[in-house]
Structure 1
Amino acid sequence: MPHVIVKIWPGKSEEQKQALAAAINQNLTEMLGYRDASVSIAIEEIDSADWREKVYLPDIENRPEQLYKKPGYSM
């Protein structure tokens, strides 16, 4: 624990995905105190044509209480 799933459109390089996973891992270990060995990170590529049905509706629109960064808003 924790397990992080990042959903993105296809097209990012393997190097970009590795860098993203490393940055997420670093933040989890430094900011929240998790041990590196307890962190797992997955990246799911979702085609833009499927985004609304597979991501927006189930993960964003139907779970607003879980969002800490909403689309369209700066942090």
Structure 2
Amino acid sequence: MPHVVVKLYSGKSERHKQALAQAIMDAVTSTLNCGEESVSVGIEDVQPKNWTEQVYGPDIIGKPDTIYKKPGYGPL
């Protein structure tokens, strides 16, 4: 039962978010060999000025063992 949460800069259209959620769901079902009914995808908008405090610090720096693809940038 994977649940994927994506945090991204605010401003992306609903069309982009739907396409991203579909692509993630496709990748998860293919990679984990599970059905669509097992997958949920949440997308959270984050204001750019809040990225370091709300995402980079707690989710990237604060949980290093969970990061499988590190970002190519430092704190903003």
Unaligned runs of 5+ in 1: none
Q: Which runs of 5+ in 2 are unaligned?
A: none
Q: How far apart are residue 60 of structure 1 and its match?
A: 0.2
| Equivalent residue, structure 1, for 2:20 | 20
Q: How many residues align?
A: 73
Secondary structure of the residue aligned to 2:42 is: strand
- Distance in 1 between the 2:67 and 2:34 partners? 21
Report what 2:39 is aligned to. 39
Number of the residue aligned with 1:58: 58
Residue by residue over 1:9-45, the C-alpha shift from the partner in whole angstroms, topping out at 9 and shown as x without a partner, is 1111111110000000001111111210011000000
In 2, Cα distance between equivalents of 1:69 and 1:52: 17
| Structure 1 segments of 4+ aligned residues over 2 angstroms from their partners | none
Secondary structure in structure 2 of the residue aligned to 1:7:
strand
Q: Residue 24 of structure 1 aligns to a residue in which SS?
A: helix
What is the TM-score normalised by the length of structure 1? 0.92
Kindly, what percent of the aligned residue pairs are identical? Answer: 52
Query: What is the SS of the residue equivalent to 1:11?
Result: coil
Q: TM-score, normalised by structure 2?
A: 0.91
CA distance in 1, matches of 2:34, 2:52: 32
Partner of 1:9: 9
SS where residue 42 of structure 1 aligns?
strand
